[in-house]
Amino acid sequence: MELPFNLTIIEKCHISPPPDSIIPPISLPLTFLDIPWLFHPSNQTLFFFQKPPPKTTITTVINHLKQSLSLTLHHFHPLAGNLSVPPPPAEPYILYKKGDSVSLTIAETNTNSNHLSSHNPRNLTNLYSLLPKLISPCLSRDTHVTNVLPLLAIQITVFGDSGFCIGITVQHVAADERTLDQFMRCWTSICKSLLLNKDSFFGFKFSSTTPWFDRSIILDTFSLKSTFLKKWWNQMNSYKNSHEETKKDNNMVQSTFVLKLSDINMIKNHILVKCRMINEDPPIHLSPYVSACSYIWICLLKVGEIIDTKDGCQYLGFNAGGITRLGYDVPSNYFGNCIGFGRCKGLENELLSENGVVFAAKCIGKEIKRLDKDVLGGGENWISDWNELNIRILGSPKVDSYGLDFGWGKVVKVEKISSDFNYHGNKVNVISLSGSREFNGGMEIGVVLSRDRMKAFSSVFNDGLRNLN
């Protein structure tokens, strides 16, 4: 029988860049690609690791993680700073000054790591307890003073079997998934250097891609910044904090489903065959990402996850990388958000028909091709478009978090956690995508549903694959 989940906080501390670091204060303005994320809750990710090797104690692990985190913040010092949100009409900005730090929590639980890091349904409340908390910008309700909000918080949780988990909560306005991945790679590289007793911690290989902080590289050709700021000033007091209730709902679980490369190819071939059978042109873009997202979209609809369909349509949203789509050079190590937004609109009756996956793929493929040509097209509507979503897709299989290794073994499970409510408090299904740890070219899909719906979804997902085979 599974033990009741209990978590105890052992230590709370703050980690700063090394005292001898010569880092001048830095103030980073928000670009038009950052500001929409003021409306959005923090990014939250869990990285699970196995028990460290013999003769390595958890105390040693934690000490090395603390020391290497401090050294990492020498490179990523803005993350030790704060988001300053002054009263309107002043603009929010990121500020780092000497003495700023990142909150670090050390916790322990009686639960074994192999349960919470499995693919099976896991209590969402328990997963949230492994994450540190940050106040979201959209919860800063006092418009008469400057609100100062930390950008990053970290929690290290040690399990009963000596496995451990690193929970990362970062304000999305400060960093997209690409920037967070660079931070994690820097941290793991420095930690490995410490374990090898290297002395030159600041000259290791990551230095060739030191973060690029110059915001002038992002060109606001369509004056989107002023549009977004006006929406922020008008709505910053109207956020509904409904997602906090979901965190406390013990009936909600998160499960991981795996699509192997052969499964994805099978879905793709099924779509192409169906197109020929019903005399439909094939999707103009049918990548593994499109095939996987189309299948998941239809599976969710089949188990009754239809939300707010007043116009008879379903809306699916996803992030689109901007580094290669903006039409001008942006360094790959640019620090900040460089992503656009895609929204697909599908007719409910078509998506729920026998050929629903075909219509889903055509919707998603068409939107991706549009973004390839004009990633900022319709950008002025991004914030309002978010509020129409029924399903939102997080993450990308292109980010290889399973390669991360602090020196005691690679990540055994990555879990992305996100609010399932939008800015106005309306429910939206969130699914997360990442590359598979076990299958080359495969994908892991994180799904959050009630326990009963999760059983139904699992049946639809697995039966659907068997029927395609």
Q: What is the pLDDT of residues 411-458, one digit of tens each?
A: 999 999 976 554 444 567 889 999 999 999 999 999 999 999 999 999
- Look at residue 108 in the predicted model and tell me its pLDDT: 96
Q: Which residues of the chain have pLDDT under 50?
A: 1, 199-208, 242-243, 245-246, 422-425
Residue bearing tokens 């909560």: 169
- Look at residue 352 in the predicted model and tell me its pLDDT: 93
- pLDDT by residue (tens digit) across 310-345? 678 999 999 999 999 999 999 999 999 999 999 999
Pairing mode, if any, of strands 429-435 and 391-394? Answer: parallel
What amino acid positions are annotated as catalytic residues? 172, 405
Q: Which CATH superfamily is domain 245-468 in?
A: Chloramphenicol acetyltransferase-like domain (3.30.559.10)
Cβ atoms of residues 188 and 410 within 8 Å: no
- Look at residue 4 in the predicted model and tell me its pLDDT: 73
- Look at residue 423 in the predicted model and tell me its pLDDT: 47
Has domain 7-243 been given CATH number 3.30.559.10?
yes
Determine how many CB atoms are found less than 10 A away from the CB of residue 438: 10
Cβ atoms of residues 464 and 266 within 8 Å: no
- DSSP letters, 263-310, are HHHHHHHHHHHHHHHTT-PPPS---HHHHHHHHHHHHHHHTT-----T
What whole-number distance in Å separates Cα of residue 127 and Cα of residue 212? 33
| 11 closest CA partner among 161, 188, 132 | 132
Where in the chain are the domains?
Answer: 7-243, 245-468
Query: Tokens in use for 214?
Result: 């110059």
- Look at residue 359 in the predicted model and tell me its pLDDT: 96
- Look at residue 11 in the predicted model and tell me its pLDDT: 97
- Mean residue pLDDT of the chain comes to 90
Determine how many CB atoms are found less than 10 A away from the CB of residue 282: 17
Please give the backbone phi and psi of residue 140, each rounded to the nearest 5 degrees, phi first.
-85, 95
CATH fold match for the domains 7-243 and 245-468: yes
Determine how many CB atoms are found less than 10 A away from the CB of residue 207: 12
What whole-number distance in Å separates Cα of residue 115 and Cα of residue 142? 41
What whole-number distance in Å separates Cα of residue 274 and Cα of residue 383? 35
Query: Tokens in use for 3?
Result: 């033990």
